[in-house]
Structure 1
Amino acid sequence: MDIKRKELLITSFALFSLFFGAGNLLLPPLLGYNSGDDWVWVTIGFMITAVVIPILGILAHARLQGTLFDFGKKVSPTFSLIYCILIYVIAVAIPSPRTAAATHEIAVFPAFGTSPLVTSAIYFSLVLVFVLNRSKILSLIGKFLTPFIVIMLLAVISIGLFSSEFNTGISQFETPIATGILEGYQTFDAIGAVVVGAVIIISLNFKNMAVEAYSSKRTLIRKSGFIAGLGLFIIYAGLISVGAYFGSELSINAELSSDMQRANLLRDISIASLGEFGNTVLSILISLACFTTAIGIVAGTADYFKGLLNDSQVVYVITAILASGLGVLVGQLDFNSIIVVAIPVLLFIYPITIVLILLNVLPEKFATPLVFRAVVIITFVFSIPDVVGFISPTEDLKIFTNYIPFSNQSLGWVLPAFVAFLISVFVQFKLKRAE
């Protein structure tokens, strides 16, 4: 069956919107502001973990066309089950509530002065309504919400760049690319790829999309992934560059928390670009971007546990209610507190997620169970010092990590994982020749 252009655009827009949430909008401008004249190098690093890896995750979904469980089953079914549960628990406990916190701090509180409990309760009640009507998610987001988000973002970026004097400050980063890579972790896009990719696949199974054949579905997902990735690239690069070029025109109160610095900078850029109307635009933009991401996370989590427990619709509803309830509770925290909690979790789970994505897009001969197990185990082992070093840094640990390349940048797992891949592939070929 030929893929219709309408289906491709709807799926691409929906995929972009499910990715693009609170962190995706708030993180890049401050990153650009602090990177100054190194903003291009920071952008390169940011794109690796916030665009390239997530889109590879969507390509892996296009190939597997299963659930998140299929990503890790070559390591072992037990590992994959534990990994899936961890991913979904993390998703509904951190990035999903974070969308509510961002919406409250930037859009709701300045306008209405309500408590975060009221905001998160109303917010996740609406999320739950959309998730329980999941057959309409893809079409609604793709047709209506995302085009509006994209138009407003492009307006802020283009007018902002046009009105700036193209002067940048001095970079505050010693290793711009590494900083960009780690900041890309905070978008949760790699985790988002493995979670919302499954949402896209399940949504395509509904009759309103009329995509049935494996090859047609794979082509549709791959093309929409590339289009969504291009959109993310343009928006991220635009927001980082706007933050960098406005660095000489705007000032940030260093005494404010990081989340308020991000919010104030983005608000100042919006007002400088669109006048006082920019504040209203920003509020609507934040709310919509966050809302669509929360829908994708909660729906993806409910889908997984529904499939895990005999395809039970009751399980789907209960999971959606519990995830929304957790969102209400955690969503009362401020945005920065959620980020601080997220960092050690990301340093642990993100490297494993990245290697699983990369292995699942490789040809079968390079991605055997032996290779999967070797790479994942080594990645896990060498991620531990990064986590421990962040939570409780000690001189003894530093003496050890000094011998691990890139460990000072919290990327000590990269080279060992690559070496493990090469060795395990070599061993696999040797074993095949011996048979």
Structure 2
Amino acid sequence: MQNKSIMVILTLGFALFAMFFGAGNLILPPYIGLLAKDNWVEAILGFTTSGIIAPFLGIIAVLKSGDSFTDLGKRVNLKLALVLATIIMLCIGPIVAIPRTGATTFEVGVLPLMPDASPIWSSIIFFAIVLVLSISPSKIVDIIGSYLTPLLLILLATLVVVGILNPAVIPQSSNIGASQDFAMAFQEGYQTMDVLASVIFAGIIISAARQKGFVNLKERTNIVLKSGLLAMGCLLFIYGGLIYLGATTDYQFTETSSRTQLLLHISTSVIGEYGTLAISVSMALACLTTAIALTCAVGTFFAELTNNKFGYAEAVISCTLVSALFSINSVDDIINYAGSILGFVYPITFALVIYVVLFGNKITQKLPYVVALLITTFISAFRVLAHFNIATTEINYYKEFIPLGSHNLEWVIPSFIGFIITYFITKNSSKKFVTT
């Protein structure tokens, strides 16, 4: 039984790592390191907070609530939860995350090896593979965890270790303070979308653990948590290494440069002539595993949401078609238009996760959670306005007076105050959720 548990933890942990580690997770850290320079440690801490710790808390929040995001949403309001879940699925699905996997595969995995390749044909081939492997989701965790992820980890670990042992240059002095580099890296962590994905992926991993014979709640929870810790440990090693490589690169980033060009330069500098091939294969594997997992999640969600009136197969086909269309955009274009969307939905999901993890067992009234999320939504909406240069001066002026505003966490204190005040007002309310 012990050997079985270890193998299941390895399989599920590697699968979860591969699900999280997609396009943004590979191209963002080097760019963060490049910007942070000698503040690369603070940058790692910032990116780790929003890109590793927060997603792990998302898994814990789902475990504390039940088996899926719907169970987590019941702690607030089922209808509101379904609206939020739909927005999340569109973000981590055909609007942002999945198209970015296809675009990144083309720019990093295909174009360096075939300079004359067409993004349209690359998108068609990539999403045809995704469709074939996603149409039957029963074996997806085993395929990803047992075969694809080990190869991906070996390639990435080689790049990171060789790069750390042979840095191109000594990190230069940062032009801004360490706290600002922390905030920058924290904000960039939103682009991974891993908090959004974590509340969905948790259900996939929980279901996989049950299918492997861990039907007892305590055993299943233990397996999922250990798998999550393994995945997060792998992410920390890769993220930290890539940020350091970005801080020690000699690449001169200009207005015409892209994040993918930076990554390709680093891989070539570190590994030499095989660097391009190694990073191309790594990117293809990372993007493929994430795209498959996300497509399966989208298909399952919309099939359940519509009571199979819009079936799993139809949802998967629709998802791949829309994703293929959006993926023709460049990676930087997708990152740019995703910024405003993620700046809105990410804090809301993050807030739900934090409050359930911290207070879910003790505070069972629904209203405190609703108020906290509404306050977070209100504040996040102003960030979207600022992203589109609407009332930017006024918003930045008031942001300076809100605690943690300089760290892009201006929603934390107001939502917490609203949560606590509402809790004391509604202590004796009968409108409570049922804890598991």
Q: TM-score range by the shorter chain?
A: over 0.9
1:40 matched to 2:41? yes
Counterpart position of 1:140: 143
CA separation of 1:100 and 1:210: change in aligned 2, threshold 3 A? same
1:155-170 residue pairs with structure 2 within 5 A?
155-164=158-167, 167-170=170-173
1:57-72 residue pairs with structure 2 within 5 A?
57-72=58-73
Q: Within 2, Cα distance between the matches of 1:173 and 1:373?
A: 37
Stretch deviating more after TM superposition (330-339 or 411-420) = 411-420
Shift of 1:185: 0.5
Counterpart position of 1:13: 14
Deviations 1:236-274 (A, max 9, x none): 11111121123xxx12241324xx2x2222222212221
CA separation of 1:385 and 1:132: change in aligned 2, threshold 3 A? same
Q: Within 1, Cα distance between the matches of 2:107 and 2:268?
A: 17
2:17, 2:234 within 8 Å by CA — same for their partners in 1? yes
Counterpart position of 1:103: 105
Counterpart position of 2:434: none
CA separation of 1:211 and 1:147: change in aligned 2, threshold 3 A? same
Give 5+ residue unaligned stretches, structure 2.
431-436
Alignment coverage as a number of residue pairs: 423
**Equivalent AA in structure 2 for residue 337 of structure 1:** D
3-state DSSP of counterpart to 1:275: helix
1:77 matched to 2:93? no
Indicate which of 218, 228, 232 corresponds to 1:229: 232
Indicate which of 181, 184, 196 corresponds to 1:179: 184
2:112, 2:276 within 8 Å by CA — same for their partners in 1? no
CA separation of 1:142 and 1:423: change in aligned 2, threshold 3 A? same
Give 5+ residue unaligned stretches, structure 1.
none
1:17, 1:292 within 8 Å by CA — same for their partners in 2? yes
1:386, 1:412 within 8 Å by CA — same for their partners in 2? no
1:149, 1:289 within 8 Å by CA — same for their partners in 2? yes
3-state DSSP of counterpart to 1:404: coil
- TM-score normalised by L of structure 2: 0.92
Deviations 1:99-119 (A, max 9, x none): 000000111122222211111
Q: Within 2, Cα distance between the matches of 1:264 and 1:172?
A: 23
- TM-score normalised by L of structure 1: 0.92
Indicate which of 181, 191, 197 corresponds to 2:196: 191
2:183, 2:406 within 8 Å by CA — same for their partners in 1? no
Q: Within 2, Cα distance between the matches of 1:309 and 1:216?
A: 32
1:310 matched to 2:307? yes
Stretch deviating more after TM superposition (157-166 or 374-383) = 157-166
Shift of 1:34: 1.3
Q: Within 2, Cα distance between the matches of 1:280 and 1:216?
A: 42
Shift of 1:356: 1.2
> After TM superposition, what 4+ stretches of structure 1 lie above 6 angstroms from structure 2?
none
CA separation of 1:77 and 1:288: change in aligned 2, threshold 3 A? same
Counterpart position of 2:380: 383
RMSD of equivalent CA atoms: 2.0
Q: Within 1, Cα distance between the matches of 2:397 and 2:278?
A: 50
Stretch deviating more after TM superposition (397-406 or 172-181) = 397-406
Shift of 1:429: 4.5
Counterpart position of 1:348: 344
3-state DSSP of counterpart to 1:164: coil
Shift of 1:172: 4.0
1:127 matched to 2:130? yes
CA separation of 1:428 and 1:231: change in aligned 2, threshold 3 A? farther
Counterpart position of 2:414: 416
1:322 matched to 2:318? yes
Shift of 1:280: 0.3
1:283-302 residue pairs with structure 2 within 5 A?
283-302=280-299
Identity %: 32
2:365, 2:427 within 8 Å by CA — same for their partners in 1? no
Shift of 1:145: 0.7
**Equivalent AA in structure 2 for residue 76 of structure 1:** N
Shift of 1:78: 1.4
Shift of 1:194: 1.4
Q: Within 2, Cα distance between the matches of 1:11 and 1:40?
A: 29
1:267 matched to 2:264? yes
3-state DSSP of counterpart to 1:365: coil
3-state DSSP of counterpart to 2:183: helix
Shift of 1:224: 0.4
Shift of 1:71: 2.2
3-state DSSP of counterpart to 1:167: coil
Q: Within 2, Cα distance between the matches of 1:61 and 1:73?
A: 11
CA separation of 1:388 and 1:408: change in aligned 2, threshold 3 A? farther
Stretch deviating more after TM superposition (212-221 or 403-412) = 403-412
